[in-house]
A and B are shown apart, each in its own frame.
Chain A
Amino acid sequence: MESIQDPVITNRMHGIIGGVSSLLVFPHKDHYKDDREYPSAVEGKIKLYQVESFSWLWSRQARKLINEAMGTFISLQDAVKEVEPDDYKSVLVKKCREYRSMIQACVEDITMCRECEGDQEELTASGQLLYKMELILSLIEILFIDKKPGGMILGQLLMWIRSHFTQCIEKKNEVMESDHPHQHSAYWEAVYGSVLQGRMEDARHMLSNHPFADTDPFLSIDELLRKMPFYQVYGGVSVAEFTVRWQHWQSECERRLQEGHYSTCHQLQTVCKILCGDQKTINNLIDLMDTWYHLMVSTLLFTCPTVKLFRLHSAAQDAIACVGGEQSTTPLDHVLLAAMEADILQVIKECQQVLDNTWFTAHVTDLLCHTMGQTTDQKFLPELRESLLLDYVSVLVSHCSLWQIGILYLDHLGPSGIAMSQTVLQRLPLTDDSRAHKIIQMASDRNFDSVVVGVCRVMGRRALSQGRLGSAIWWGVRSRDAAFTSHLAHQILQKYVVEGRFESSQLLDDLGPAMLLSDTLTFLGKYREFHMMYQDGNFRDAAVLLVSLISSKLAPEYFWPVLLLDALPLLKSEEPVISAEQTYELMYCLHNLHNHASKRGKQSSLENEATCSAFLEKEIDLRLALSNNLARAIIHEGSVDN
C-alpha cells in the first residue's frame, strides 16, 4: 500500500485504470449539474501519478525462473496429453522436481548476488521466500504426487527433513575436522542430531572416533545403531514383517537401557532413549531440530515408522503443541499443516496470503490439478488452476518483454485464455514494423484473424500518416480493408498524375494476387505492369494492356488523360502496334473525356486544371495520331487479310 505525498492531491484523490496494468491518480473535484465555475484555491502544481503494482517477478533473479517455469509448464501440458494415464505419475514427479531445481538455482543465484550488489534486505527476503517455496513444494511432492504404494511415507519425510535441515551435517564436519573431535563442544550434539535424522552411519562414525569406542557401552550402542531396520518400499519385506522386526529391535534397545548398559555414559543413555522413542528425551533436544516438523518426523522415526498419511496431521498437532502451540505458528507452518491434512485448497489459500504474486501457487495448482486428474472430490481444482494462471499471466503481459511468455501460457487456459490472448495481442504497442510482424505471427498462429486485421489497419494508417504510401498499401492489403486500400491507391495515382512518377514502385510490383482486393488497386497494379512492358520494349502487349485498361473502365476518370497520353508514343511508333479496333476504343475514350470536361466546366481543382491544360495541348496531337494510326491500321489489317 502506498500513500501519495502531495498536498494538492490530499482529500481529492481520484484514480482511473490506465493501460494494461497501471493506475492514474490525480487531484479531482466533484461536479454537479449546475456547478458554477469558480477557480479553486489551488496552490502548487497539479500532478498526475502513474501507479503500478510492483512485483518480485520484475527482478533480475526472477527472470530466469519465469523462463524456465514456462518451459516446464508447457512440456507438462503437452506430456499429459500424449502420455498414457499409467505413466502420468513419473511425468508429474519429473516436472515437480524441475520446478524445485529451478527454485533452488534461483536461491543460489541470489546468494551469489548478495556478495556483489543489490538491495541486501530485499535479496535476503527473496532468498528466504524461495527456500520456503521449495520446502513446501517438496512436501507436496511427497504427500500428493509421488505417493508410494502402501502409503508409507516416513522414508520420504525423512529425506525431506535431511535435505532441508543440514545443521547436523555441518556440525559433524566441523567436529570431525577438529583435532580432538570427542572434546569438541558440539560433539554430542552432532551425534544426537545425526541419530534424530536417522543418519546412523554418521553417528557411528563419530562415535568410533571416541577414545572409549572399544568399551562395552560404545560397542553396544554401535550395534543397536547398525541394526536399526529401515523400511524400503521396494525392499521385498512386507509391512507386517517389517513391523515385527522393528518392534523386536526396539525391545532390544529398551532391554539394554533398563539393564544399565549405558549407565556409565549419560550421553549414550540419551542416544539409547532416543532409539527407544522416549518422547521426553526427544522433545528436550528441540534446539537441534528447530521446527515442529523436524520434531514430528524424528518422533515418528522412533515411535511409529509405519505411519500413514492420514495419521500425519495428529502427529503434527502433537509436535506443534511441544514447540509452543498454535499461537507461535507462522504462515509457513500453516501451509505445511494444511498439506499434511491433505487440504489442497487450504495450502493454496495460505500461500496466496503471503506471496505477492501467483508464480508459485499457479504452477503448483496446475501440477496438482493434473495429479488429481478425475478425482471427483476436488472439483474446484480446475477452476482454481485457471484463475491463478490467468492472474499470473496478467502480471506477465503488463511487462514489455514478458508478454510473449504470457501468450504461451494462455494457449492452455481454455476460452478465457483465448479471450485474454486476443485482448493482450491487440493492446501491445506497435513500436515498429518488426514488433507488428511478431504480433501478427503470433495472432495468425492462433487463428486470431480479427487481431491480424486490426494490427494491419493500425500500421496501414500509421504508414499513411507518415507519407509512406507503398508501405501503407502493403498493410492495407494484409488487413483486407478494401476501402482503405482503394483510398491509398487513389492517392498514389493522383500523385503520379501530378508528379509523373511512382512512389514505392517495388512494393506495388510485388503485390501479386493481393491487388484484386479493390478495383483501384487492381488498376494500379495493371498500370504498373503496363509500364514494365513498355520499358521492356514489349510494345504490342503493352498496347493491348493499355487499351484493355481503358475500355474496362477500371481506370478512374482523372487518370484517363494520362492513359491517352501514354498511348501517344504507341500510336506514333514505327510499326503499327495498335489495331483499328483498339484505336476506336481510344477515340471513344477521348470523346467521353472531352464531353465530361466540357460538362464540368470550371469545377476542377488546381491540379486538374494543370493536367487539363497539359492535356489540351496534346489533344490535337492525339487526335492526329489517332486518325493516322487508324488509317495505317486499316490498311495493314486489310493487307494481312489478303
Chain B
Amino acid sequence: MVSVISNVETGHDDMIHDAQMDYFGTRLATCSSDRSVRIFEVKGTSQTLIADLREHEGPVWQVAWAHPMYGNILASCSYDRKVIIWQEDGHKWKKVHEYANHDSSVNSLCWAPHEHGLILACASADGSFSVLTSTAHTWESKKITSAHSVGCNAVSWAPAVAPGSADGTSRSGTAVQRIVTGGCDSYVKIWKFDSATGEWIEELKLEGHSDWVRDVAWAPSIGLPRSIIASCSQDRRVIIWTNDGVTGVWQPRELNTFDDVIWHVSWSVTGNILAVSGGDNKVSLWKESLEGQWVCLSDSAKGQPSSEQRTL
C-alpha cells in the first residue's frame, strides 16, 4: 500500500526531468526544462528551497549527487551540451567546474561508487560518453567516442564491491571500474577501465532491444556473486540482464512489455526493487521472486481501483 506523504511545490516553470535525493535523504535536487536546478532541504515531510541554480542554457536532463564524503557536490547535464559540477560552500552553492566537450546534448550522468574516487560519467547525444576524474586541483576528462551510433542515452556505474566479497572490505586499487551505457543503436554496452593502458574498452555488447535504449541501471550489490543490469527502451520493454558471476555470461530476461515507451528505470538502495516509469503514465515496482520471476509489486496509476484484499 502506498500513500503520498508529502508534496513539494518545486517552483519550476516547466516539466521536471529528474529528481534525486542525496545519499542520506536530507537534500533533494530537481532539474527542469526551465533550465534551472533547484535544491531543497528535506526535513521529515517538509522541504525548503535552498538554491536555485541557473547556469544552463537549455533544459537540464539529469542531476546526480556525489558521495557526501567529498562534501556536498551535485552534477547536472543539459541540452546545452554542458555538464556542470556544483559544490556547496558555507551555505551557498557555486559552480566549481564546467565540462563542455560534447558536441550535442548531454543526456545522462552518473557518479562512480565512492571507492573509486570522485569520478563522474556522462553520456551524450553525440554518441560518446566522458569520464571526469577529480584530482587534487582540477578535473581530468576522458572522452570515449563512437560508443553508440546516433547517440548515447544513458550511463550507469557498476558497484565497487567485487561481486563475491561479501565482507565489503574495499580493495581499493584492485577494484575494477565498469560502466554500462545504452544508446540509440539499441545496444547495451559494458565498458571496463584498463588500468594498464588508462583506457576504457568495450567489454561486451548486449543485444536485446529493437529500438533506442532510453535508460540503463546497474543494480547495487547485495552480497551475492551475481550482477544485474536493467535496461528500458523505446521498444516498450524492460530487460533484466543477469550475470551469475561464474560463467561471465549476461542472460537477458524480459521483465514486461508495456503499453508505451519506458523512459526510466531505477533501483532501490538495497538493490532488490526496480521502479519503472514511462509513457503509460504509471510507475510500477518490480521484485524478483524466489523462483526467479520478476513480479510487479504495485502500480500507481490515475484512476485505477485498488484490488488488494485487506482481510483474511
Binding site for B on A (CB under 8 A): 1-5, 10-31, 33, 35, 37, 39-40, 42, 45-55, 125, 128-129, 132, 330-332, 335, 353-354, 356, 380, 383-384, 387, 390, 394, 415-420, 422-424, 426-430, 447-451, 454, 457-458, 461-462, 465
Contacts of B255-289 to chain A: CB distance below 8 A: 261, 263-264, 266-273, 275, 277-279, 281-283, 285
Given known contacts A52-B3, A356-B1, A465-B88, what 18 new A-B pairs fall within 8 Å (CB)? Answer: A3-B303, A10-B281, A12-B15, A29-B14, A33-B150, A37-B58, A42-B15, A49-B7, A49-B8, A51-B3, A353-B309, A418-B166, A423-B220, A427-B269, A457-B69, A461-B68, A461-B70, A461-B71
| B288 to A: closest C-beta gap in Å | 9
Known A15-B275, A40-B33, A384-B290; contact A29-B17, beta-carbon cutoff 8 A: yes
In the complex, the answer to whether B21 meets A125 with C-beta atoms within 8 Å is no
Main secondary structure on chain A at its contact with chain B? mixed
On chain A, the residues within 8 Å of B90 by CB distance are 465
Other-chain residue from B12, B264, B304, B308 in contact with A14 (beta carbon distance below 8 A)? B264
* A17-B273, A23-B283, A380-B290 given; A31·B17 CB < 8 A: yes
B10 contacts A331, C-beta separation under 8 Å: no
Pairwise interchain contact A14-B269, C-beta atoms closer than 8 A = no
When the two chains form the complex, which single residue of B71, B222, B264 contacts A16, counting CB atoms closer than 8 Å? B264
Q: How far is the CA of A419 from the CA of B235 in the complex (A)?
A: 34
Q: Who on chain A is nearest to B310 by CB? A: A125
Q: Which residue of A is nearest B114, CB measured? A: A454
8 Å CB interface, B297-311 against A: 298-311
Contact B269 A19 (CB under 8 A): yes
By secondary structure, the B interface counts as loop
Residues from chain B with Cβ under 8 Å of A54 in the complex? 1-3
| Minimal Cβ-Cβ distance residue in A for B8 | A48
Asked whether B69 lies within 8 Å of A4 as measured between CB atoms, the reply is no
Within 8 Å of chain A (Cβ to Cβ): is B197? no
Is A3 a contact partner of B301 (Cβ separation < 8 A)? yes
Partner of B61, one of A17, A31, A42, A332: A31
Chain B 1-32, CB-CB to A under 8 Å as 1, else 0, gives 11111111111111111111101111010101
Q: How far is the CB of B51 from chain A (nearest CB, A)?
A: 15
Q: Do A23 and B25 have beta carbons less than 8 Å apart?
A: no
Interface size class for chain B? 35 or more
Residues of A within 8 A of B28 (CB): 18, 24, 48
Output the least CB separation between B161 and chain A (Å).
8
Would you call B8 and A50 a contact (CB within 8 A)?
yes
Say whether B2 contacts A3, CB under 8 Å: no
A-B contact pairs, 28 of them (CB 8 A): A3-B300, A3-B302, A13-B283, A16-B266, A16-B275, A19-B25, A19-B269, A20-B269, A22-B5, A22-B21, A22-B25, A24-B21, A29-B33, A33-B184, A40-B33, A46-B9, A49-B8, A50-B45, A51-B3, A51-B5, A53-B2, A335-B312, A354-B309, A384-B290, A390-B272, A394-B270, A424-B270, A462-B68
Residues of A within 8 A of B4 (CB): 2, 4, 49-51
User: Which residues of chain B from 65 to 120 have a CB within 8 Å of any chain A CB?
Assistant: 68-72, 79, 88-90, 104-105, 107, 114-115
Min CB–CB distance A18 → chain B (angstroms): 4
A18 contacts across to B, CB distance below 8 A: 19-21, 25, 28
Residue B134 at the chain A interface, CB threshold 8 Å = no
